[in-house]
Structure 1
Amino acid sequence: MTKYPRARLTAAVIVAFLCGLVFASSSNLIHPGWAQSKTAPKPTLQQVQPLVESQNAFEAIADHVTPAVVSIQTERFARTRANTRQRGQQQRLPGGIEDFFRQLDPQTDQPSEASGSGFIVSKDGYILTNNHVVADADRVTVRLLDNRIFTAKVTGRDPTTDVAVIKVDANDLPTVAIGDDAIARVGQWVVAIGNPLGLDFTVTAGIVSARGRSLGALLNTRYAIQDYIQTDAAINPGNSGGPLVNIRGEVIGINSAIASNTGFYAGYGFAIPITLAKQVMDDIVQYGKVRRAVLGINIGEVDPNDAQVAR
């Protein structure tokens, strides 16, 4: 008699177990993760839109600013005398005779070339760049994005701040918008535009890495600037004189220097604040030089009249 209740009990347990499995499957309570490959959800339009807007901003900056950036080529001529006699075979001649033959030696020009960047700040052809780009140049040539080429004249240079102004004879040129470097904050996007390593009109992006950098000890430089803008936007030889631009397309600095053991980009670039550069430019254009206030002390003997006045 007892085997029938046991059989019924066993059957009831099996039925209950099967019903539980069916219920769990229908309720999605079983997750065989070992047999499933998880697929990352596709980003939504709301998630992608900020990236698209950032990309559009960089495209707009490049389209708007690059036409006002120039490639600068400089030439320097070193006057040397050609001498056909080899070293070690020369004999010392009497003074007057040696001077006579020295005058007969032909002189040759040994040109040296260098390149840099700049940007147009006025429609009539004023261009801002670095002093070290055009210093001692005998010939300065600028080329625009549209391949127009002009010979430029150096309007003025300020070695103290490494700022220079050059001028081309043209009208209705594209110009940059001048921003306010004082409101730039660490972490904000910036774009560097220039001609690094002969790669004309290169655009690189980064952020403002620091403000108020003094490079005297770091770069062993003589420039008396205590407020460089530091950026990680890629800057290399040839970028000097080009603009550092904020996300609104406004110039906030002149790319001027890098800190590197190799002489190439290592993540640390420095720009002269545009406010300082503009002050220098305005003085150069108006007065031909930078005017600075001077404070000094004159020491002299005090006579009785001076002592009486000082009472």
Structure 2
Amino acid sequence: MNGTVRKLAMPAVLVAGTAAAMTTADIVRDPLPSLDAQASRAAVAPPAAVATAEGLSGVFRAASRTALPAVVHVRVSSAGRSVSMNIPPEMRGTPFEDMFRGQRMGPQASSGSGFILSADGYILTNNHVVANADRVTVILGDKREFDARVVGRDPNTDVAVVKIDARNLPVARMGDAERLEVGDWVLALGYPLDLGQTTTAGIVSAKGRSLGIMGRNGAEAPLEHFIQTDAAINPGNSGGPLVDLQGNVIGINSAIASPTGYYSGYGFAVPINLARRVADDLIKDGRVHRPMIGVEIRDASPADAEVFGLPSPDGAVVSTEPRGAAREAGLRMGDVIVGVDGVAIRDAGGLMEAVMRRRPGDRVTLDVIRYGDRRRAEVRLQEYQAERTAAAEADDDDARDVSDAGSKLGFRAVPVTPDIAQELRLPRAEGVVVAEVDPSGAAAGVLSRGMVIRRVNGREIADAAALRTAASAVRPGQVVSMQVRFPDGRESIVNFRARN
């Protein structure tokens, strides 16, 4: 989290003024008008504009004074350790294999920010700030330093809680991220680049943003539903609060979008409603009790809207066969969840956040669209249990007959051989499996190597000939709907549009 400060070139500011028309003769007679004359012609800001600007400055000052006392600096150190790296297949069994084993890293030091949740020393920060810490030090705004212990952390939401032994601490005021609107002023507080307490201002640029970054820090079921802001956020801001104009915390600064690693215009914060829910579990039990519906989901796309009869490409598509409570409630693969307890859902992240506000055992009512038919389902939420599956990939080197019937759709498929069936744990050696996906083709980002094609636009795909027939029936620009089996055994419906 530490970083160096780069000098920024300050651009010249050119102020354009207005002046009365002057002739050349006028200039010769009076080459330098008197200061009084210049002053009389100078543009003066209207009092109302000055009052408005001073009023906004006053609001910023008051919000900063309210929030800063509870903002802390979090310093982290970790001892050197051996790190095992993934060995590339082409390096296995060669003298170079040892290069990827047990590399030794020296001691590491980093820093971030946090804010005080309770007067007795509970502090909220990011998981990635303290994830590998051997020692955590918290420095208060009044310069006092405390050793801290990690109470609990949650990689899935990038939230962590640490505790210091102190009393009568200033406590951050909690706000409500749900009341935020795009365009609202916000302030980002923290300790960026080891500069000390810093406040920056900006607006809410977007809500419900998903970046796909949680998996890098050990998340098994990442929940991303960030507040996006253009308030300057830099390394070291992580874990600090994003506050509204009343100084109430409405988010935890967590990430930036930058080609350089420094502020480039966009920062992202975990909504405080979600973070506080996670923190409560961590403080009480040291782990998060995460509710789940029992379905795997993805964002609805324009192709989904056409196939599933949606009024707009919004909602969360049930992408695999439901299990547990979801199956008991009658949900099916291909259903699109568009609301929870009467509140509209725009994407998968919105659904996960809405569910996360509940607790295992709670009942929720889901608004569902099933191929154009709107219905409701009541689901009793279960507690999420992490489970890991080993995904096997098909080895197309053993394929006897290669078929490129899917090439017009942007992929290459091969028949399922006995070896492939064994690798993918299929009951029989029949059907076709995706061997290669054209990165610039129609199926890019939708299909992947190792998927078994079950159906194409309703046609069962038992062999390469069936795939050729189904592919030849697809018109340019037509939406293609496929039922596929993933390498780990899950089945799903994927939709994409054929190229013109």
TM-score (norm 2): 0.45
Provide closer, same or farther for how the CA distance between residues 225 and 293 of structure 1 changes in structure 2, counting only shifts above 3 A: closer
Distance 1:168 1:217 in 2: 29
The answer on whether the counterparts of 2:158 and 2:214 sit within 8 Å (CA) in structure 1 is no
Q: Which of the residues 237, 240, 244 maps onto 2:238? A: 240
Q: What is the correspondence of 1:253-272 to structure 2 with a 5 Å cutoff?
A: 253-272=251-270
The answer on whether the counterparts of 1:219 and 1:259 sit within 8 Å (CA) in structure 2 is no
The question of 1:164 aligning with 2:160 is answered yes
Q: The residue matched to 1:33 in structure 2 has which SS?
A: coil
Provide closer, same or farther for how the CA distance between residues 113 and 252 of structure 1 changes in structure 2, counting only shifts above 3 A: same
In the alignment, what sits opposite 1:192? Answer: 188
Q: CA offset at residue 218 of structure 1?
A: 11
Provide closer, same or farther for how the CA distance between residues 112 and 226 of structure 1 changes in structure 2, counting only shifts above 3 A: closer
In the alignment, what sits opposite 1:143? Answer: 139
Q: CA offset at residue 42 of structure 1?
A: 2.1
In the alignment, what sits opposite 1:70? Answer: 72
Structure 2 unaligned spans of 5+: 1-19, 27-37, 83-103, 295-322, 325-500
In the alignment, what sits opposite 2:228? Answer: 230
Deviations 1:70-96 (A, max 9, x none): 00101101257xxxxxxxxxxxxxxxx
Higher helix share: 1
Q: The residue matched to 1:216 in structure 2 has which SS?
A: coil
Q: The residue matched to 1:34 in structure 2 has which SS?
A: coil
Q: What is the correspondence of 1:40-189 to structure 2 with a 5 Å cutoff?
A: 40-79=42-81, 110-189=106-185
Deviations 1:5-45 (A, max 9, x none): xxxxxxxxxxxxxxxxxxxxxxxxxxx73369782542333
In the alignment, what sits opposite 1:215? Answer: 211
Distance 1:241 1:295 in 2: 29
The answer on whether the counterparts of 1:228 and 1:271 sit within 8 Å (CA) in structure 2 is yes
Distance 2:289 2:169 in 1: 29
The answer on whether the counterparts of 2:214 and 2:224 sit within 8 Å (CA) in structure 1 is no
Q: CA offset at residue 276 of structure 1?
A: 0.3
Distance 1:250 1:54 in 2: 17
> Higher RCO, 1 or 2 (CA under 8 Å, sep at least 6)?
1
Distance 1:228 1:109 in 2: 32
Q: CA offset at residue 196 of structure 1?
A: 1.0
In the alignment, what sits opposite 1:93? Answer: none
Distance 1:159 1:218 in 2: 7
Distance 1:210 1:109 in 2: 39
Structure of larger gyration radius: 1
Q: The residue matched to 2:157 in structure 1 has which SS?
A: coil
Distance 1:217 1:166 in 2: 23
Q: The residue matched to 2:143 in structure 1 has which SS?
A: coil
The answer on whether the counterparts of 2:157 and 2:224 sit within 8 Å (CA) in structure 1 is no
The answer on whether the counterparts of 1:218 and 1:259 sit within 8 Å (CA) in structure 2 is no
Distance 1:66 1:136 in 2: 27
Provide closer, same or farther for how the CA distance between residues 294 and 59 of structure 1 changes in structure 2, counting only shifts above 3 A: closer
Provide closer, same or farther for how the CA distance between residues 115 and 218 of structure 1 changes in structure 2, counting only shifts above 3 A: closer
Distance 1:47 1:159 in 2: 47
Deviations 1:241-276 (A, max 9, x none): 000011111110000001111111100100000000
The answer on whether the counterparts of 1:196 and 1:237 sit within 8 Å (CA) in structure 2 is yes
Letter in 1 for 2:224: Q
Q: Which of the residues 175, 197, 203 maps onto 1:201? A: 197
Q: CA offset at residue 294 of structure 1?
A: 4.1
Provide closer, same or farther for how the CA distance between residues 136 and 217 of structure 1 changes in structure 2, counting only shifts above 3 A: closer
Structure 1 unaligned spans of 5+: 1-31, 81-107, 299-311
Distance 1:274 1:50 in 2: 30
Letter in 2 for 1:33: A
Deviations 1:101-122 (A, max 9, x none): xxxxxxx994211100000011
Letter in 2 for 1:189: W
Letter in 2 for 1:73: R
Q: CA offset at residue 200 of structure 1?
A: 1.5
Provide closer, same or farther for how the CA distance between residues 218 and 225 of structure 1 changes in structure 2, counting only shifts above 3 A: closer
Letter in 2 for 1:70: V
Letter in 1 for 2:192: P
Q: The residue matched to 2:263 in structure 1 has which SS?
A: coil
Q: CA offset at residue 136 of structure 1?
A: 2.0
Deviations 1:113-154 (A, max 9, x none): 110000001111110000000012111001011101111110
Q: CA offset at residue 225 of structure 1?
A: 2.8
Distance 1:282 1:218 in 2: 21
Letter in 2 for 1:203: T
In the alignment, what sits opposite 1:4? Answer: none
Distance 1:140 1:214 in 2: 29
Deviations 1:148-181 (A, max 9, x none): 1111110000010000000111111011110000
Distance 2:167 2:150 in 1: 18
